[in-house]
Structure 1
Amino acid sequence: MDLALPDDLPSELLRLAVPHEDVNAVLAARPEPGSPQWWLAERCAHSLVSTMGDLDDPPPFQPLPELGPYFYVYVFLAALPHTRRYHRELGIPEEVSWATFADLGRNMAVHRKRHGTGGLHAPHWFMLHARGILYALGRLQFNRGTAGSRTAAAIEEAGVPVGPRRLALEVHVPDLYGPLTPEACDASFDRARRFFPRHFPQEDYQVMTCGSWLLDEQLARHLPAESNILAFQRRFHPLHRFDNAETVPFVFGVDAADPARLPRRTRLERAVADHLASGGTWYGRIGWLRF
C-alpha cells in the first residue's frame, strides 16, 4: 500500500491528542518519499491494514531507535484512515473512534513521563487500536481477544463456559486519565456490555479478563479498604500472578534503582515505595469476571 499522510498534519496530530511539545518534532521527522524509512513505514502500515479486525496478531512492532523516536507515529497515521473506514462499516460512533485513537497522544505523553524525552511508548500497543481490536469506552479500554489456555481452564473449572474459541474481552486501565472511581468503572463496563454485542454480534463473549499490577493482592496490605484500586480488584475473581515490571513506572513514571529515593506524595506512592524499600516485590495478577 502507498503511504498516504493527512494533508493537514498538525491538525491531525492534535486531534490524536499528540502533546503540543511533540508536534513540531513529529513534523520534522516526516520520512522522505522513496527513502528506506518511507519504504519500511509503508510495509508496517500494510501489516496493520491487511490484518484489520483479525484476532490473530501480526508480528509485533519492535523498537527501532535508529529510525528516530517518531517513526511509528507515521505508520499509524498511514493506517488510521483504513481503521476509520472499518469503524464506519461496523457502525461504531465517531466519539468512540476518536477516544480510541487519542491513545496515540496519550502514549507519547507516557513516553515523556517515563523517559523525559519525546517518543511513542510501546509502539506495539497501538497496533491493537489501529487494527480495530481495542476500544476506549470511558475510563476503561477493552480489546477483543482470547483467554490463554491456563486462564480459560481456570474459568471453566469455576463453572463458566468459555467455549472452544476461548473468547474473552481484555480490560485495560489507561494512564493519565484521572481517578479510577467505581462510578466511572461501572459506566465503562455497562458500555462494553452494550457495545460489543451490537458491533461484533458474531463474537459471543462470556467473560472479561484483566492482567495488571492493579490486581496484585499485596496492595490490600497498604491501601485503605475504600480505595479505588481495591474496589477495582474486588470486581475480579483472582487467578495466577506473574512477574511484572510496570508498577513503579506506572505509579512514578521512572524505574526504581533506589526505592528509598522515590517520592511519597500519595498513599499509593507510599505503599509502592515502602513495600520495595522493605525488600518486597510487586507482581501482576490475572483476574476475570462475567461479561
Structure 2
Amino acid sequence: MELHRFFEGIRMMPEAVRQVGRLHIEERTYQRIKALFQRDKKKFYTTVLRQPDFRICFLYYFSRMGCETYERYQEDGIGERIYWDTFYDLTLWCENCFREYGAYGTDQYDWFFRHIECRLFRLGRLEFERMESEWALKYGRTEIKKGDTVINVHIPQGERLELAAVRASCEQAFSFWGKQYPYICHSWLLYPELSRVLGKESNILGFQKLFRIVQVDFAEREAEWRIYGKIQDDLELYQEATSLQKKAKEYLRDGGALGNGLGILDFSAG
C-alpha cells in the first residue's frame, strides 16, 4: 500500500501529511530503522528520539510499517474496516500530540508496536489486545496469574461511550478472540469514585457496570489528562468548559483523587 493511500484511509491531518512528505528519509534508512524496530524496540525508540523532529519521524516510521501490515491483514482474512479503524489510532494520537505540544506526529511512541505486530485490533467502539497479564487478579471463581493470556480492553477517544455500541463491540471481540480468555480493563473510566463526579445516567458509570472492579491505583493521572487534555500541578489552571471539567475540578479542590480501576469483564453483564 502506498503511504498517501494509508493517510487517506486513516483520515490523517493534512498538515501532518505534508510534514511527513518533507522528511525525505532514504529507503535504506527506513529499512535499517525498521529492522531495528523488529530486533530491539528500546534501541529503535532511543535512535528516533535523537532526531530534533522525532515526533513526525515516529509518525512516518509507524505509518510505513502500518502500510506493510495491510498484507498480513489480507493473509489472515481480517476485513479492511478493522484495518482502517485500528490504524486510525495514529490520527487520534497525532491530534493529541498537536494539542499538547504544538507539533505534528506522535509522542506516544511505545504504543504502536501492538498495531504493527497485530496484537491489538479495533472492533467497533473498543480496542482489544491479546497480551500476557501484568496483574495477578482474583474475583469469585476467576483467577488470573501474571503472564496468563488475557484480552486487554482499551477505550479509544473521540466518540461517546454509548452502551449499545460497547456491547456490540464486545460481541465482535468474542467472535474474533473467543471467550476462553478473561477480558480485563485498566482505565480511569473504571475508577469507582467517578460516581461522585458523574450523573447517575452517565455512560461511563454504565460502562463500569459491565466489569467487576478488583483493584484501584493512583500510579498515573490519566483521568486529569483525559478530562482536561493536559496535566497541571495547579488545579486552578484547569479549564471548566464542560460540566465534567467543572465537577472534576470541584472534586479535586475538595481533596478528592482520581485514579484508575482494574476490572474483569462480566460476560453476563448487560
TM-score norm. by structure 2 comes to 0.87
2:262 corresponds in structure 1 to 286
Structure 1 residue 79 corresponds to structure 2 residue 65: yes
Corresponding residue for 1:41? Answer: 33
CA distance in structure 2 between the aligned counterparts of 1:34 and 1:165, rounded to whole angstroms: 37
- 1:150-161 aligned at under 5 Å gives the runs 150-151=136-137, 154-155=138-139, 158-160=140-142
- Distance 1:175-1:141 versus aligned 2 partners, 3 A rule: same
Q: How does 1:186-225 map to 2 (within 5 A)?
A: 186-197=167-178, 205-225=180-200
Task: Quote the offset at 1:245 in angstroms.
Answer: 1.9
Indicate whether 1:110 and 2:86 are aligned.
Answer: no
Inter-CA distance 22–81: structure 2 relative to 1 (3 Å threshold) = closer
Match of 1:62 among 33, 45, 54: 45
How far apart are the structure 2 equivalents of 1:146 and 1:273? 36
Deviation at 1:19, TM superposition (A): 1.0
Question: Percent identity over the alignment?
Answer: 25
The one-letter code matched in structure 2 to 1:174 is P
1:95: which partner in 2? 81
1:95-174 counterparts in 2 under 5 A? 95-151=81-137, 154-155=138-139, 158-160=140-142, 166-174=148-156
Please give the alpha-carbon distance, in whole angstroms, between the structure 1 residues aligned to 2:63 and 2:199: 43
Q: How far, CA to CA, are the matches of 1:145 and 1:192 in structure 2?
A: 14
Q: Does the 8 Å CA contact 2:37/2:43 hold for their aligned counterparts? A: no
Distance change in 2, residues 1:150/1:212 (3 Å): same
**Pair 1:180-2:161 in alignment:** yes
1:14 aligns with 2:8: yes
**Residue type of the partner of 2:244?**
L
Shift of 1:146: 2.5
Aligned length: 263
SS at match of 2:75: helix
Q: Which residue of 1 aligns with 2:26?
A: 32
1:23 aligns with 2:17: yes
Opposite residue 208 of structure 1, the aligned amino acid is Y
Cross-structure match for 1:268 = 244
**2:135–2:145: 8 Å Cα contact kept in structure 1?**
no
Question: SS of 1:141's equivalent?
Answer: strand
Q: Tell me which amino acid in the other structure corresponds to 1:91.
A: G
Q: CA RMSD in A?
A: 2.5
CA separation of 1:86 and 1:66: change in aligned 2, threshold 3 A: same
Q: Which residue of 1 aligns with 2:212?
A: 237
1:258 alignment partner in structure 2? 234
SS of corresponding position for 2:260: strand
For 2:216 and 2:87, locate their aligned partners in 1 and report how far apart those are by CA, in whole Å: 30
Structure 1 position 61, deviation (Å): 5.8
**TM-superposed deviation, 1:290:** 3.8
- The answer to whether the 8 A contact 2:134-2:146 is kept is no
Shift in Å, 1:281:
2.3
Question: TM-score, length-normalised on structure 1?
Answer: 0.81
The one-letter code matched in structure 2 to 1:256 is Q
The one-letter amino acid paired with 2:4 is: P
Higher mean Cα deviation, 73-82 or 228-237?
Answer: 73-82
Structure 1 portions without partners, runs of 5+: 1-5, 49-57, 198-203
Amino acid at match of 2:161: L
Between the aligned partners of 1:94 and 1:253, the Cα distance in structure 2 is: 31
Q: Structure 1 residues 116, 192: closer, same or farther in 2, change over 3 A? A: same
CA distance in 2, matches of 1:251, 1:149: 26
CA displacement at 1:81 relative to structure 2: 4.2
